[in-house]
Amino acid sequence: MVSDVSTTAGLDPLAQDFVQFAVDCGVLKFGEFKTKAGRLSPYFFNAGLFDDGAKLGRLAAFYAQRITDSGIEFDMIFGPAYKGIPLGATLAVELARRGRNLPFAYNRKEAKDHGEGGSLVGAPLKGRVLIVDDVMSAGTAARESIALIEAAGATPHAVVIALDRQEMATEGGQDVPYSAVQYVRERLGLQVCAIAQLDDLLQYLDTHSGMGLAAEHQKVLAYRNRYGVSNRE
């Protein structure tokens, strides 16, 4: 549990623009949604609804800008199946457009036993690898990606996600006092950056409370106070 915090100070313009973009696209919705952990969340983030070329292009620009701002250094991009595949591919295109052409690879859920075979597709995994995904719920996809990358002789170096929910992870059906992002950062040793965090969503709702979002702000804040952790470094 975290205590109530100010939601108006220290606005992150990139994060605020991203939250607005996600709302406009219907990717970020408010209501009552059951999470994998069985919690009733007052909001839901569905990156699968970035579902056309224009949306994916702008999403990639958000990823690219956040990565650039973070200062994270890496040698190639990896998109874990399934949602990470288009995210990693569009990020690679956007970075190339900005003058940084990097190798890209992804994995299949099931290995092929014909053709080139194996579970990896694209450029050979080598050097420092950036893993691209939408959200991080339990860190399972990150652990699977790390295993694949290390087995190929490369170094899992960092993870970039669209939204950090900043809430307690679960283990064995029980809440634990750290988030999936904290687990990956502190226990697996990877750098992690997110375009936006739950704190940024709260700031958005607070600054737009006069537009009919006051009730949503209170619900998300109550959820944050019950299940939240702080991931800001």
139 near 169, Cβ under 8 Å?
Answer: yes
- Is 34 noted as a catalytic residue in this protein? no
Query: Which among 29, 55, 109, 114 is annotated as catalytic?
Result: 114
Residue 199: left if φ>0, alpha if ψ -120 to 50, beta else—which one? alpha
From first to last of its 233 residues, the chain has per-residue pLDDT tens of: 343 444 445 799 999 999 999 999 999 999 999 988 889 999 999 999 999 999 999 999 999 999 999 999 999 999 999 899 999 999 999 999 999 999 999 998 765 554 454 789 999 999 999 999 999 876 777 888 999 999 999 999 999 999 999 999 888 888 888 998 999 999 889 999 999 999 999 999 999 988 889 999 999 999 999 999 865 54
Query: Partners of 168 in the beta sheet?
Result: 179
Query: Which among 36, 83, 112, 126 is annotated as catalytic?
Result: 112
CA distance linking residue 127 with residue 155, whole number of Å: 6
Q: What is the pLDDT of residue 7?
A: 42
Q: What is the pLDDT of residue 193?
A: 96
The amino acid occupying position 133 is: D
* Beta-carbon-side half-sphere exposure of residue 119 (alpha carbons within 13 Å): 17
- Is 114 noted as a catalytic residue in this protein? yes
Task: Residue 150: count other Cβ atoms within 10 Å of its Cβ.
Answer: 13
What is 13-227's CATH topology?
A: Rossmann fold (3.40.50)
CA distance linking residue 19 with residue 65, whole number of Å: 15
Crossing angle of helices 198-207 and 13-24, in 10° steps, is 80
Closest-CA residue to 197 (of 176, 183, 182)? 182
Q: What is the pLDDT of residue 1?
A: 38
Two tokens, residue 72:
């994270």
CA distance linking residue 46 with residue 58, whole number of Å: 16
